[in-house]
Structure 1
């Protein structure tokens, strides 16, 4: 078993190393699930086989010592050298391969449950959600807000709150589900959403915006107009760069339900299909979002982002956001 454990740890190190060096894209949910299963197997083996075997060996050692002392006592020898307690302690001690597998199971199980069903941490890697979220923000995502989903396969088993316009959502990138994206949901199933001449409309009604002056972005080292936008009950800030044109890549579009969208020099108009959502970045002119790669399927939802728990470069970023 020690050799098998060494092989498993070697495979884990190789997988993490290749992931870190960029040789492949890792799947942390699957990795955590596998670690939970493997350590559970070791924990069960320890509880029902290895530990009883060690305890039986310790009892047998004590019995042998007691029998030896009794025989010596019958021979008139009362003083006997030697103490089996140290040997007994060594017999009861977990070997390293159980300590680093079965011993880790409770911790890994807690992390697995918390991350899969309650809250998951993410790090903001780009400026697509500026000014709401900045590069380096460490955020928490509520995994049960929209319903309970099975880990790895992401199958919803219990429904909860519906997705609302204005929600900041983490989801699996439709073009490559191994990647997680974060955007703001601006349109829900059945909506007709239009982003024309840098103006957002939902079902023919312009979304209310109020100018807030200029915004400086540390990431792009540039100024751009800042607006307050209201989607449903959610009021948030967006950044719009009037120097950027409405170009969303070459035609034809090949994402699912691309026929629901009409592109023009002014922008794009889309009818959101059932079970899908239309997402935009708050940094409207520096965001790869639904205008480029299409709609977010419901089965790709990870959870609702709601809290910045750390930014090592700016502690003032800690707190809730809309």
Structure 2
């Protein structure tokens, strides 16, 4: 009897321990599966959102100052001009260049585009010339279809750029032929790109320029960027989300406690 009791006693703790171990492992496995499912859903949502909705980009150079500052994070609407292979990450070659829900940008739009001949690098500029337009710079002044584009001096700006160079520029408000107003920087009207040949924009292409006119490599350099093909458009820049702008540059930007809140959630015009 005692042998049976001892045998029962020997077995019971082992069985009890096994049951406890199994029970404790099940919740851990369930939590891991739930976490994995959540991660998959988040990744899928991100891919769908950034492919068909708004892509997220950052500004690494000063070519679009004062509209966009170095360190700005922006949302770019991919719905604006439709979808093709360049709407997707890594530009998959099996997706055609023909656009689904195709639409054309308007003069003055700030757009992100990619350039295959520059290693599929992404750029952001403003649409200045539409298909069939003529564009020319004469002594720092912009001419579209033979007409001088109006600009009005806003102020003189002294600041330290993101590379640590002291800059003195004039800030103008420029008014494009369709009435779009935007700000530009001009260091001089005698720079290397301030007087150009007459450009005729081919069909299916656009003439792009940076708002920092003396600090932008753009369509004025045919051997570098040149005219931008419609198929290469990624989307229209809509809004800054937040910014890592360096407040020490000295521009008139709200930076309480060194945080550039003046760049947060700012519409891009």
TM tier, smaller: 0.7 to 0.9
Of residues 136, 149, 153, the one that matches 1:211 is: 153
Which residue is equivalent to 2:41?
Answer: 106
Deviation track 1:93-137 (CA, whole Å, cap 9, x = no partner) reads 649997886663211111101111111111111111111111111
Deviation track 1:265-315 (CA, whole Å, cap 9, x = no partner) reads 931321111111110000001101111120111121111012111123411
The residue correspondences of 1:1-322 to structure 2 (distance < 5 A) are: 82=15, 84=19, 86-87=21-22, 90=25, 94=29, 104-150=39-85, 151=88, 152-153=91-92, 155-219=97-161, 220-231=165-176, 232-242=178-188, 244-246=190-192, 266-292=195-221, 293=224, 294-312=226-244, 313=246, 314-318=260-264, 319-322=266-269
Deviates more, 1:173-182 or 1:188-197: 173-182
Gaps of 5+ in 2: 1-10, 247-259
RMSD: 3.0
Is the CA contact (8 Å cut-off) linking 1:144 and 1:160 kept in structure 2? no
- The alignment's TM-score, normalised by the length of structure 1, stands at 0.63
Residues 1:241 and 1:147: Cα distance change in structure 2 (over 3 Å) = same
Residues 1:156 and 1:115: Cα distance change in structure 2 (over 3 Å) = farther
Distance 2:147 2:189 in 1: 25
Is the CA contact (8 Å cut-off) linking 1:244 and 1:285 kept in structure 2? no
As a proportion of its length, which structure holds more helix? 1
Distance 1:93 1:149 in 2: 43
Distance 1:176 1:101 in 2: 38
Residues 1:217 and 1:243: Cα distance change in structure 2 (over 3 Å) = farther
Gaps of 5+ in 1: 1-78, 248-264
Number of residues paired by the alignment? 229
Distance 1:242 1:91 in 2: 71
Is the CA contact (8 Å cut-off) linking 2:135 and 2:142 kept in structure 1? yes
Is the CA contact (8 Å cut-off) linking 1:197 and 1:246 kept in structure 2? no
Distance 2:32 2:141 in 1: 61
Q: Which has the higher contact order (CA 8 A, sep 6+)?
A: 2
Is the CA contact (8 Å cut-off) linking 1:177 and 1:300 kept in structure 2? no
- The alignment's TM-score, normalised by the length of structure 2, stands at 0.74
